[in-house]
């Protein structure tokens, strides 16, 4: 038999181990908390830390106090009414299975019940409070909620109730369920130890106190279940029967009354169970459980299914039409689709050189460089050293000396993984190599004679050749920098390579937490799990540690309640580099709205534009959609966090753009939700989708792989009916299961029209070729296909670029670049441009030559006339020939001048002809 002293010693050992483990966990959390406070204070957001911490602490204390109190009370009630003292013994008989029986004894009497129950309540309460503490966001949104200003069509509640209140009520309900479950478990353990619960054979026996306590708990369960049924009424607005998203005809006419009935049954069952505390008849709780569970099965599952199948299904369109209309209207509201303006686009075939000249800004900015080949080219020409890397390619526009230009640019970031293995020392990674250097920028259309991009910005330090000057090119905060660095140490920081030597620098920015003292060094060594911070001799009294250097991690550490766009982009402004990050407010609680993206979310707004200084790490939040009630609520919670968009520097405002991720979501949903008639929506008569991509970027698609779809793309163009050229994001649309184009969707990016969405719809009776059909015509062109086959056989690899749909005036032009890369090389070269218009497809060296070839027959021919008219005709032809030459050379200024000189000659010839006729 085990010695009581030995058992006591072992129990003490377990207690000490538990205290030590708990202390280490608490110490780690406190260290993280202290570092977070130091960091947020250093960047000016201490108020955000205080609000979030206060909410977490208050919620933790409230949940812990209530949970521990209820659990302790439940345990004490069971202890008070238990029969004891008894203890459980395991009896194993040869004639039957093992069974537990209650036996008299003095072991239970020696248990310090009050202390044990208090300890159990505290431990379980801590776990519950810790899990519920993460719901601080729900609590603050509930307390500071802003009304949406519109009501749902069923219950007449403001939509803000669903965005802010309903999620909290559901979380509260789940918490109460857990409390009831733990209370039941604690009571069952106590009654079992005290011998009031005996598990057969021959039969299960429950003491009267157990029956009374169980009836009380069951009554509370049924009361909670009644509240759950009451809340389930609102969840009907999120249903999906395949025809209607939201409450359907069956939901309103069957499910809703059934939920009221089930709530009434649950209340009746609760009353019966509570009354059974005196009677203690096992048949009452059994009957109550059967009544509620059986009623739920028959009324909430079987009856609605039969009703839908035999009554609704035969007349589905007629009965569901009003509910489909609600789904359409509220889905359009949830995704901002109701603001889309629809305009006709005639898709004419009247494009000529004169109209091309009138839209020269559009042609000058047609994107011939695709992301993948250009990124490879940047890597080969501009990474300079192996430890630099271009992680992504951004598309933006700048007003330069050469005009309003669309450009592609990328930040040259330091990539620790690219260091040689023997150079990946702690000093190199955290003290010496601390930052990237500069950006590379090139126009989207131009190329050199060798087929390489022309550079507006290049090299280290950055050299501007037509691009914006960059006086502070160092990138301490970027897309790939995730580890900490220590600046202002005794080791100079590597700046950039300079011939055989290197240039060094010392960080002079405002970011960083002082780390010179022993206490700070110990704290960060513990928090970062890196003892070198404490042991190194390179840290001085002025040293600072930079953390959260990845820009998205940095933003989320300040505002974890925002959802971030996947593509932050770099901007050169005022000689410095900035990152612009789009942020969204999202919800899955918008009634009647179709889920359209991650985790069944059905509401999204581009609520904020966030600017991060690549050198200083300063983060500024600007509200870009002040009408959004969610961001209005967060502005109430964090009044010092958000600024109006007008407070953003004017030059940075010129670089904000409509986010591609949001545009993609809206365009996908608009493919179905542009149909506002329930009958048309029900039959999916006019369903749109993204066009199939003509080919992969390498010219092939993997066998058996699904055909990829086109992605939205930015371009500079003059929208039909508009006077000025602007930066837009656009997407062609095709009918479902068809390849001809039906419309194109544009999002305007330039102020003051920023954020406006327009659909240009084609006449339905006219065939307009879609990208996939144009690609088929390109492949059927014998001259082009033969040339591509020849290149592929000569040790080169042909890379087909993406096909772009370029609206010009009221017509559509198609452009696709073609690249060559040596079979063993990694340097793609832009060698040809394919252009298509109407029935013609051409391939030339440059875009200007391709356009000249496409429209060589579009210029008016000079009529023959006797006498002086002959000279004018010859002059007109000479001007025309020179215009074509200027166009092929890419000299748009010369091209325009020749056309201007041609016009009066043609007008004079026309006047002469009219005079002859008279």
The tens digit of pLDDT for each residue in 248-276 reads 999 999 999 999 999 999 999 999 999 99
What's the rounded mean pLDDT across residues 774-783? 91
Q: Using CA atoms, how far apart are residues 774 and 762, in angstroms rounded to an integer?
A: 17
Only one residue has tokens 């990829």, namely: 708
Rounded (5°) CA angle 581-696-708: 70
Q: Using CA atoms, how far apart are residues 246 and 244, in angstroms rounded to an integer?
A: 6
DSSP 116-183: HHHHHHHHHHHHHHHHHGGGHHHHHHHHT----S-B-TTT--BHHIIIIIHHHHHHHHHHHHHHHHHH
Q: Using CA atoms, how far apart are residues 806 and 197, in angstroms rounded to an integer?
A: 79
> Strand 804-808 relative to strand 563-564: parallel, antiparallel, unpaired?
unpaired
The answer on pLDDT for 98 being more than 60 is: no
pLDDT value, residue 870: 58
Q: SS3 sequence, 564-587?
A: ECCCCEEEEECEEEEEEEEEEEEE
Helices (H), 346-478: 353-358, 360-364, 371-382, 426-427
DSSP 389-414: EE---EEEEEEETTEEEEEEEEEEEE
pLDDT tens-place string over residues 654-680: 999 999 999 999 999 999 999 999 999
Q: How confident is the model at residue 744 (pLDDT cuts 50, 70, 90)?
A: very high
Tell me which residue of 150, 151, 153, 149 sits closest to 247, measured CA to CA.
Answer: 153
pLDDT tens-place string over residues 521-535: 999 999 999 999 999
pLDDT value, residue 876: 74
pLDDT value, residue 101: 45
Q: How confident is the model at residue 132 (pLDDT cuts 50, 70, 90)?
A: very high
Q: What is the pTM of this model?
A: 0.88
What's the rounded mean pLDDT across residues 333-344? 96
Q: Using CA atoms, how far apart are residues 678 and 671, in angstroms rounded to an integer?
A: 15
pLDDT value, residue 81: 81
Are the CB atoms for 457 and 398 separated by under 8 Å?
A: no
Rounded (5°) CA angle 776-781-785: 95
The answer on pLDDT for 94 being more than 70 is: no
Q: Using CA atoms, how far apart are residues 282 and 694, in angstroms rounded to an integer?
A: 71
CA 755 to chain centre: 18
Q: 464 φ, ψ to 5°?
A: -95, 125
DSSP state of 6: H
pLDDT value, residue 90: 44
Q: Using CA atoms, how far apart are residues 342 and 334, in angstroms rounded to an integer?
A: 19
> Strand 757-761 relative to strand 493-498: parallel, antiparallel, unpaired?
unpaired
Are the CB atoms for 887 and 895 separated by under 8 Å?
A: yes
| Mean pLDDT score across all residues of the chain | 89
**DSSP SS3 for 637:** helix
Q: Which residue has the higher pLDDT, 25 or 333?
A: 333
- Cis-peptide into 738, omega within 30 deg: no
Q: 713 φ, ψ to 5°?
A: -145, 150
What's the rounded mean pLDDT across residues 203-228? 89
């Amino acid at each position: 038999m085990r010695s009581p002293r030995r058992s006591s010693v072992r129990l003490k050992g377990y207690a000490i181990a538990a205290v030590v483990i708990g202390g280490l966990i608490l110490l780690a959390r406190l260290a993280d908390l202290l570092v977070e406070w130091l960091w947020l204070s250093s960047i000016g957001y201490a108020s955000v830390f205080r609000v979030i911490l206060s909410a977490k602490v208050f919620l933790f204390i409230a949940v812990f106090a209530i949970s521990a109190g209820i659990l302790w009370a439940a345990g004490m009630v069971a202890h008070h009414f238990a029969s004891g003292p008894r203890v459980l013994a395991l009896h194993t008989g040869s004639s039957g299975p093992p069974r537990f029986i209650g036996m008299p004894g003095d072991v239970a009497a020696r248990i310090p019940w009050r202390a044990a129950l208090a300890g159990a309540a505290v431990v379980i309460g801590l776990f519950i409070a810790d899990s519920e503490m993460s719901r601080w966001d729900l609590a603050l949104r509930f307390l500071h909620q802003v009304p949406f200003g519109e009501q749902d069509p069923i219950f007449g509640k403001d939509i803000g109730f669903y965005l802010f209140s309903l999620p909290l009520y559901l979380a509260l309900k789940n918490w109460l369920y857990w409390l009831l479950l733990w209370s039941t478990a604690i009571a069952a353990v106590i009654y079992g130890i005290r011998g009031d619960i005996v598990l057969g054979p021959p039969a299960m026996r429950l003491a009267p106190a157990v029956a009374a306590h169980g009836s009380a708990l069951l009554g509370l369960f049924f009361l909670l279940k009644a509240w759950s049924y009451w809340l389930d009424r609102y969840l009907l607005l999120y249903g999906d029967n395949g025809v209607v998203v939201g409450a359907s005809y069956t939901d309103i006419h069957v499910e809703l009354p059934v939920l009221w009935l089930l709530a009434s049954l649950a209340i009746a069952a609760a009353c019966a169970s509570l009354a059974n505390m005196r009677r203690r008849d096992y048949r009452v709780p059994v009957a109550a459980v059967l009544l509620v569970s059986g009623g739920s099965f028959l009324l909430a599952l079987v009856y609605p299914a039969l009703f839908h199948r035999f009554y609704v299904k035969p007349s589905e369109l007629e009965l569901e039409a009003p509910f489909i209309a609600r789904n359409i209207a509220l889905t359009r509201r949830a995704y901002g689709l109701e603001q889309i303006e629809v305009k006709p686009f005639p898709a004419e075939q009247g494009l000529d050189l004169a109209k091309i000249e009138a839209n020269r800004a559009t042609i000058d900015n047609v994107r011939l460089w695709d992301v993948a080949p250009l990124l490879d080219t940047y890597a080969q020409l501009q990474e300079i050293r192996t430890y630099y890397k271009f992680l992504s390619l951004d598309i933006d526009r700048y007003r330069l000396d050469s005009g309003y230009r669309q450009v592609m640019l990328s930040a040259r970031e330091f990539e620790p993984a690219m260091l040689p293995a023997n150079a990946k020392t702690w000093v190199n990674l955290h003290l010496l190599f601390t930052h990237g250097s500069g950006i590379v920028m090139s126009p989207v259309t131009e190329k050199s004679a060798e087929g390489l991009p022309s550079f507006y910005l290049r090299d280290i330090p950055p050299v501007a050749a037509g691009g914006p000057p960059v006086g502070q090119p160092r990138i301490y905060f970027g897309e790939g920098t995730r580890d900490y660095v220590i600046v202002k140490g005794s080791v100079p920081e590597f700046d950039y390579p300079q011939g055989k030597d290197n240039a060094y620098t010392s960080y002079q920015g405002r970011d960083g937490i002082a780390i010179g003292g022993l206490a700070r060094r110990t704290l960060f060594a513990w928090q970062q799990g890196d003892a070198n911070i404490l042991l190194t001799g390179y840290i001085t009294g002025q040293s600072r540690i930079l953390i959260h250097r990845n820009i998205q991690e940095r933003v989320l550490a300040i505002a974890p309640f925002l959802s971030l766009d996947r593509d932050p982009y770099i901007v050169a402004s005022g000689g410095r580099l900035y990152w612009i990050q789009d942020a969204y407010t999202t919800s899955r609680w918008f009634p009647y709205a179709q889920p359209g993206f991650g985790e069944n979310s059905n509401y999204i707004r581009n609520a904020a534009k966030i600017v991060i200084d690549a050198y200083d790490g300063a983060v500024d939040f600007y509200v870009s959609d002040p009408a959004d009630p969610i961001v209005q609520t967060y502005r109430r919670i964090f009044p010092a966090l958000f600024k109006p968009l007008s407070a953003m520097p004017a030059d940075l405002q010129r670089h904000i753009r409509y986010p591609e991720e949001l545009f993609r979501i809206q365009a996908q949903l608009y493919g179905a939700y542009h149909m506002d008639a329930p009958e048309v929506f029900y039959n999916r008569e006019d369903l749109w989708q993204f066009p199939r991509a003509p080919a992969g970027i390498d010219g092939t698609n993997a066998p058996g792989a699904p055909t990829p779809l086109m992605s939205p793309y930015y371009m500079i163009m003059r929208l039909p009916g508009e006077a000025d050229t602007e930066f837009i994001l656009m997407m062609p649309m095709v009918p479902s299961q068809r390849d001809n184009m039906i419309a194109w969707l544009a999002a305007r990016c330039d102020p003051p029209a920023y954020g406006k969405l327009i659909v240009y719809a084609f006449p339905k009776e006219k065939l307009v070729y879609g990208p996939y059909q144009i690609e088929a015509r390109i492949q059927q062109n014998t001259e082009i296909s033969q040339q591509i086959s020849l290149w592929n056989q000569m040790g080169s690899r042909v890379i087909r670029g993406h096909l772009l749909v370029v609206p010009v005036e009221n017509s559509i032009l198609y452009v696709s670049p073609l690249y060559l890369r040596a079979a063993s090389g990694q340097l793609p070269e832009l060698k040809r441009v394919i252009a298509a218009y109407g029935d013609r497809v051409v391939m030339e060296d440059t875009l200007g030559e391709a356009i000249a070839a496409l429209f060589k027959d579009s210029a008016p021919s000079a009529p023959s006339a006797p006498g002086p008219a002959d000279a004018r005709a010859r002059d007109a032809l000479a001007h025309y020939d020179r215009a074509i030459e200027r166009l092929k050379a890419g000299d748009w200024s010369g091209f325009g001048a020749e056309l201007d000189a041609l016009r009066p000659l043609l007008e004079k010839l026309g006047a002469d002809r009219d005079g002859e006729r008279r």
